[in-house]
């Protein structure tokens, strides 16, 4: 008695069923079942030379913290020298306060450098992105307010776009 034809037929049936399941799996997913572009946009800030306003100017050893927060924002490398950064705004609040620190360092467990406090005010608008992503937040009517501490390294701020609904270009320019 030989079982070879039975085993071969059984393997072909299994392969056919497996292939059918794979094909059905591929065609059963819809385009919006995977969230690709569903993030709330970050605030894009570019830094410029106050004496030559058309030229970018990096901020040395830049650190940005949320006011009252111990740790720096994690959307860019802490204490790096950059001419552009992306930072998150709070979606549950009408404003977000940040401490921008130029020449940031730690000495004897204390933050050193020149600290400037900056508030961004806005209205939050929820937007339906897709079934997979759900809702994201966009920000409208962006305004800024710099606390004058007598030793500000930030000389002026210009809002380029009062609506934040993408990260394609800068929203704010800071001159220093």
Which residue range forms the structural domain that includes residue 25? 4-33
Q: Number of folded domains in the chain?
A: 2
pLDDT of 10: 60
Are residues 118 and 59 both part of a single domain? yes
Are residues 86 and 165 both part of a single domain? yes
Are residues 8 and 76 both part of a single domain? no
- Identify whether 104 is part of a domain: yes
The tokens for 155 are: 């000389």
- Identify whether 38 is part of a domain: no
Are residues 102 and 156 both part of a single domain? yes
Are residues 8 and 94 both part of a single domain? no
> Cβ distance 117 to 64 under 8 Å?
no
Are residues 97 and 163 both part of a single domain? yes
- Identify whether 150 is part of a domain: yes
Q: Which residues of 142-158 are buried (b: 16+ CB within 10 A; e: fewer)?
A: bebebeeeeebbbeebe
Are residues 22 and 85 both part of a single domain? no
Are residues 160 and 75 both part of a single domain? yes
pLDDT of 4: 59
Provide the residue-wise pLDDT of the chain in tens; the chain has 176 residues: 555 565 555 656 666 676 666 655 555 555 556 777 678 999 999 999 999 999 999 999 999 999 989 899 999 999 999 999 999 999 999 999 999 999 999 999 899 999 999 999 999 999 998 888 889 999 999 999 999 999 999 999 999 999 999 999 999 999 99
pLDDT of 25: 57
- Identify whether 24 is part of a domain: yes
Are residues 84 and 147 both part of a single domain? yes
Sign of CA dihedral 90, 91, 93, 95: positive
pLDDT of 35: 78
pLDDT of 73: 97
What backbone torsions phi and psi does residue 3 show, to the nearest 5 degrees? -105, 0
pLDDT of 21: 62
Are residues 149 and 62 both part of a single domain? yes
pLDDT of 137: 96
Are residues 8 and 81 both part of a single domain? no
Are residues 150 and 70 both part of a single domain? yes
């Amino acid at each position: 008695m030989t079982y070879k034809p039975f085993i071969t037929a059984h393997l072909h049936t299994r392969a056919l069923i497996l292939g059918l399941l794979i094909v059905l799996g591929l065609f059963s997913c819809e385009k919006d079942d995977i969230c690709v572009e569903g993030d709330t946009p970050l605030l894009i800030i570019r830094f410029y030379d106050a004496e030559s306003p058309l030229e970018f100017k990096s901020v040395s050893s830049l650190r940005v913290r949320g006011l009252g927060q111990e740790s720096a924002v994690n959307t860019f490398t802490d204490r790096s020298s950059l001419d552009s950064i992306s930072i998150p705004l709070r979606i549950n609040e009408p404003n977000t306060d940040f401490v921008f620190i130029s020449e940031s360092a730690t000495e004897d467990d204390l933050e050193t450098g020149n600290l400037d406090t900056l508030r961004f005010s806005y209205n939050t608008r929820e937007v339906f992105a897709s079934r997979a992503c759900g809702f994201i937040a966009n920000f409208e009517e962006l305004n800024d307010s710099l606390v004058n501490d007598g030793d500000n390294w930030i000389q002026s701020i210009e809002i380029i776009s009062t609506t934040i609904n993408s990260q394609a270009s800068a929203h704010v320019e800071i001159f220093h």
